[in-house]
Amino acid sequence: MPETRSDIPLIDAEEDLTPTPSVAAARRGLLAHPAFVMLGIVLASLNMRAALSGVSPLMSEISDHFHLAAAASSLLTTIPLVFMGLGSIAAPRLARRWGTEAVLCGALVLLCGGILLRVAPPVVALFVGCALVGTAIALLNVLMPGLVKRDFPDRAASMTALYSTTLILGATGAAASSVPLENALGGWQGSLASWALLAAVAALAWLPQAVVTRRAVRHDRTSAAPRAGAGEGDGPRLTRSPLAWQVTLMMGTQSLVAYVCIAWMPTIFTDHGMSKNQAGLVYAFYTLVQMAGSFVAPLLAGRMRDQRVPAVGVVVLMAAGITGLLVAPVAGAWLWATLMGVAQGGLLGLALTFMVLRTRDAHTASRLSGMAQTWGYLLASVGPFAIGWVYGETGGWTLPISLLLVACGALLFLGLGAGRDRKI
């Protein structure tokens, strides 16, 4: 489907996925208290990065425990990313079959199980747990933009700002508390396992909505034939849209930079002489200031018809921070962490917001989210492993960090395309 100006009406019968009466009635009952839905979104968002960010400060301990080389250690970040991409393929189909709320609740239960499996004794359990964690996060990632557009259509940008900022808050808390939890709980296993509690609390919050909506979906399936237009035939259209690919590749490239930083930023600092504790603090600060960018960027984007200016702005900030990391990694560590953190949060916020602003309905937003996060995270999964391999081959960080500047050049091009006032 060609891109169109956002002020030109577009009607496509195949995109009309209005809920059936029983599902709509269930949603009306639940949404009588929107604060409860918002609480569920916040709790789910807290879990969307915490289980991953809590690994980076403990990477050396985990590697030493299992005697992993640098390339093998990078799999702790790479495996979740691969399964975040693969899991994204199934999310829209699962939501249609079981209901969005039921899939969200199930994803949080799966996340809880994956977190606990990572600390089981055999090394294979560590990697299988990483795969389950990535799959669970994929379901949360894909369904959240459609949920926001469906339940908060008039506040989509502000709600995107809320959940993307909360997502980063969870990542920051995990990064900052991983080492203290390791000391308090007697090892890295206790630190990683503690995040299962947060996932369990979020699952309980979604359980009532999951039960009600699941019953409504089951009733519709047994009492009526499938509606026209709800089939699978509308899938290929997004793959023929240049705008959809720009959003997808922007999501993937910013995620690549983000997960390289998650995997290797503390190591970059310690390799240049910084203490482990200080490196952990700088990394936690980097994740903390992402909240500023992730909150402000979607709000600004929601007030603009064209988002190319903020897209260029955050890419320039990211490039400046990476350049500083290349030139004086320790002397200017706090400044580079500030620039890169604000930019990273802004890039994530814009990428998520584009999934909402570049689409016309909740179904298309979910499909674009699925496409962007399937291909985006598969692209991002290359980053930590490739940077780890280059670092191992060259014995230094000059070339690996320079490659991140190449990624910034790609982000500039993609932001100019995805930020245009167009809809799919």
Q: Is residue 51 part of a domain?
A: yes
Query: First and final CA of the chain: distance in angstroms?
Result: 7
What CATH number does the domain containing 79 carry?
1.20.1250.20
Instruction: Please tell me whether residues 172 and 97 are part of one structural domain.
Output: yes
Q: Is residue 6 part of a domain?
A: no
Instruction: Please tell me whether residues 36 and 72 are part of one structural domain.
Output: yes
At 15 the pLDDT is 34
Instruction: Please tell me whether residues 302 and 340 are part of one structural domain.
Output: yes
Q: Which of 197, 184, 178 is nearest to 62 (CA)?
A: 178
Asked if 27 and 147 touch (Cβ cutoff 8 Å), the reply is no
Q: Is residue 37 part of a domain?
A: yes
Q: Is residue 19 part of a domain?
A: no
What is the distance between the alpha carbons of residues 298 and 296, in angstroms, rounded to a whole number? 6
What values do phi and psi take at 208, rounded to 5?
Answer: -60, -45
Q: Which of 345, 396, 371 is nearest to 169 (CA)?
A: 345
At 219 the pLDDT is 52
Q: Is residue 127 part of a domain?
A: yes
The single-letter DSSP state of residue 239 is G
Instruction: Please tell me whether residues 166 and 245 are part of one structural domain.
Output: no
Helix (H, G, I), strand (E, B) or coil at 5: strand
Q: Is residue 357 part of a domain?
A: yes
Regions of the chain short of the pLDDT cut 50: 1-25, 30-32, 223-236
What values do phi and psi take at 422, rounded to 5?
Answer: -140, 160
At 303 the pLDDT is 82
Instruction: Please tell me whether residues 181 and 58 are part of one structural domain.
Output: yes
**Burial (Cβ within 10 Å: 0-12, 13-18, ≥19) of residue 382:** middle
Instruction: Please tell me whether residues 50 and 191 are part of one structural domain.
Output: yes
Q: What is the pTM of this model?
A: 0.74
Instruction: Please tell me whether residues 275 and 145 are part of one structural domain.
Output: no
Q: Which of 339, 348, 338 is nearest to 294 (CA)?
A: 348
Q: Is residue 7 part of a domain?
A: no
Instruction: Please tell me whether residues 342 and 195 are part of one structural domain.
Output: no
At 225 the pLDDT is 41
- Count how many domains the chain has: 2
At 227 the pLDDT is 42
Residue 391: both structure tokens together: 């670092």
Instruction: Please tell me whether residues 246 and 201 are part of one structural domain.
Output: no
Instruction: Please tell me whether residues 296 and 391 are part of one structural domain.
Output: yes
Instruction: Please tell me whether residues 305 and 414 are part of one structural domain.
Output: yes
Taking only Cα atoms into account, the Rg of the chain, rounded to an integer number of angstroms, comes to: 21
What is the distance between the alpha carbons of residues 383 and 125, in angstroms, rounded to a whole number? 23
Residue span of the structural domain in which 82 resides: 27-216
Instruction: Please tell me whether residues 415 and 272 are part of one structural domain.
Output: yes
Residue 152: both structure tokens together: 């908060």
Q: Is residue 380 part of a domain?
A: yes
